[in-house]
Amino acid sequence: MPAHLLVVDDDAEIALILSRYFGSHGFRVSTAGDGIQMRHVLDSEPVDIVMLDIGLPGEDGFSLTRNLRGYWHGPVIIVTGRGDSVDRIVGLELGADDYVTKPFDLRELLARVRSVLRRASSPAKTDTGRLSFDGYVLDPQSHSLSGPQGDPIPLTSGEFALLRVFVEHFNQVLTRDQLMTHIHGRDAGPFDRSIDVQIGRLRRKIEPDPAHPQRIRSIRGSGYLFSPTVRRI
């Protein structure tokens, strides 16, 4: 079955360009002009990935990204003309898996979509062993994380991929470039702070005190270290 891409953009010309381009590369594409139409599509049929503009009529893309995480946990890519670094950080903080600014290169956008989809799907295909640390259980097969009391902890595909790299390299210092290579297959750009943003989100989910993290530790001048002992169960 082809991957189902939902393009949410009120610019009909851009939506048409994206629909035709991704359709020609094997995707099934649906479009929506605002949040109401987006929810209608998501409620009606399975969607593999959402490509979301920020400047939408009514509820904007930031609000939609935040609210999406309450009921839909597939990958989200924000595609927008707003390239300010603050907007990028806000989008990633709210749970977006990637952030692309307009004007964009269609080939690069296609590569990013495929990369995000691989991250979202590959753990279930390549690893069935559960990993445990400090009472938490990371399950690559179900793409899930549960807490010490067995409660599910929602993770975006980017957060899951990052945590999986940490648990598979526990007690090792990893630089930002190494983390980016493990997750995206590329080095971090000089202004790419997406890893730092995702680490901040992860800390809020697995640290008793995110302001003073003990599990995902910052190593000054070197990178990050995942300190808990990890075992397969």
- Residue by residue, DSSP assigns 22-70 as HHHTT-EEEEESSHHHHHHHHHHS--SEEEE-SS-SSS-HHHHHHHHTT
Give the model's pLDDT for residue 123. Answer: 47
Query: How far apart are alpha carbons 203 and 153 in whole angstroms?
Result: 12
Give the model's pLDDT for residue 3. Answer: 94
Query: How far apart are alpha carbons 204 and 199 in whole angstroms?
Result: 9
On whether the pTM is more than 0.75, the answer is no
Query: How far apart are alpha carbons 2 and 204 in whole angstroms?
Result: 35
Query: How far apart are alpha carbons 154 and 87 in whole angstroms?
Result: 23
Q: What is the mean pLDDT of each run of 10 residues along the chain (233 residues)?
A: 93 95 97 93 90 91 83 84 75 83 90 87 57 94 90 87 92 88 58 75 95 94 93 88
Give the model's pLDDT for residue 70. Answer: 65
Pair 40, 64: CB distance under 8 Å: no
Domains for the chain: give ranges and CATH numbers.
4-122 (3.40.50.2300), 127-232 (1.10.10.10)
Give the model's pLDDT for residue 217. Answer: 96
Give the model's pLDDT for residue 177. Answer: 84
| 76-92 confidence digits (pLDDT tens) | 999 887 767 777 788 88
Give the model's pLDDT for residue 157. Answer: 78
Give the model's pLDDT for residue 124. Answer: 43
